[in-house]
Amino acid sequence: MSESSGQQKTRLARKRLTADDWADAALAALVERGLAAVAVEPLAARLGTTKGSFYWHFANRDALVAAALARWEESSTERIIRAMEAGEPDPAARLDALLRGATTAVVDDPKEVRLLAAGDHPEVAAALARVTERRVGYLAHLFELLGFPAPEARRRGFLAYTSYLGHAQLAHAVPDAVPADPEYVAEVSALLLKR
């Protein structure tokens, strides 16, 4: 039995999925419904394809989870650091822009909170550890550029990051508790920069 003209056009019109398409869908599912939602059949249905497409790109679910986490690391950490480095030469202004951007974005994006909630999974825990180290390290670098000794810069980087995570948690658990005043981040920055 041959394929009908309509089926053939649909097949030809369908975009060939990439590993990144699968990883993005997996990350979206994880954010929407938790790690258990990262399952091949529902993702295939979501993407309008078959399980065969998945197995073309990944050996198993763990490989897909790792790819999704790598996409998150790139988009939520590395890309932002590159943008900060390229866009602003002054480390104090860079720190302020980073804190403002991160605390604003996290209110509408539950990725951070959902990934922290899935931290008991070994792949997620490893990604969270890498991202935490990279982010705290970058913040510490900015504080060093501002003249703080390395141990103090590291401590302040850690304080800035935990402030951000606390803000993220409250923004999703108790939204009314998050300050709406734009000067809030300026006060946090001022406290972190105080000598």
- Looking at CATH, the fold of the domain delimited by 1-68 is given as Arc Repressor Mutant, subunit A (1.10.10)
- Using alpha carbons, list the distances in angstroms from residue 146 to 50, 91, 95, 165: 53, 7, 10, 23
Residue 9 has a pLDDT of: 35
Domain boundaries, the chain: 1-68, 89-195
Handedness of CA 109, 172, 142, 69 (dihedral sign): negative
Reported pTM:
0.86
Residue 16 has a pLDDT of: 85
The tens digit of pLDDT for each residue in 30-53 reads 989 988 899 999 999 999 998 889
